[in-house]
A and B are shown apart, each in its own frame.
Chain A
Amino acid sequence: NAGVTQTPKFQVLKTGQSMTLQCAQDMNHNSMYWYRQDPGMGLRLIYYSASEGTTDKGEVPNGYNVSRLNKREFSLRLESAAPSQTSVYFCASIQRGGGYEQYFGPGTRLTVT
Chain B
Amino acid sequence: GENVEQHPSTLSVQEGDSAVIKCTYSDSASNYFPWYKQELGKRPQLIIDIRSNVGEKKDQRIAVTLNKTAKHFSLHITETQPEDSAVYFCAASKANAGNMLTFGGGTRLMVKP
Chain A residues in contact with chain B, CB under 8 A? 31, 33, 40-45, 48, 50, 56, 58-59, 90, 94, 96-102, 104-107
Contact = CB atoms under 8 A, between A and B. Distances in A.
Interface residues of B, number: 26
Contacts of A42: 6, 89, 103-106
Interface of B: 1, 6, 31-32, 34, 42-46, 49, 51, 89, 93, 95-106
Given A41-B105, A41-B106, A101 B99 contact: no
Tell me if B's interface is mostly helix, strand, loop or mixed. loop
A40 B96 CA distance: 29
16 contacts: A31-B99, A33-B100, A41-B105, A41-B106, A42-B105, A43-B103, A50-B98, A59-B1, A94-B99, A97-B99, A99-B49, A99-B93, A101-B34, A102-B101, A106-B43, A107-B43
Given A42-B106, A90-B44, A56 B89 contact: no
Contacts of B104: 42
Contacts of B97: 50, 97
Given A50-B99, A102-B34, A104-B45, 12 more contacts: A31-B98, A33-B100, A33-B101, A42-B6, A45-B102, A50-B97, A59-B102, A97-B97, A97-B99, A99-B49, A99-B51, A99-B93
A43 B105 CA distance: 8
Nearest to A30: B99
Contact of A45 (B89, B101, B106): B101
A102 to B, nearest CB: 6
Contacts of A43: 44, 89, 101, 103
Contacts of A45: 100-102
A59 B45 CA distance: 21
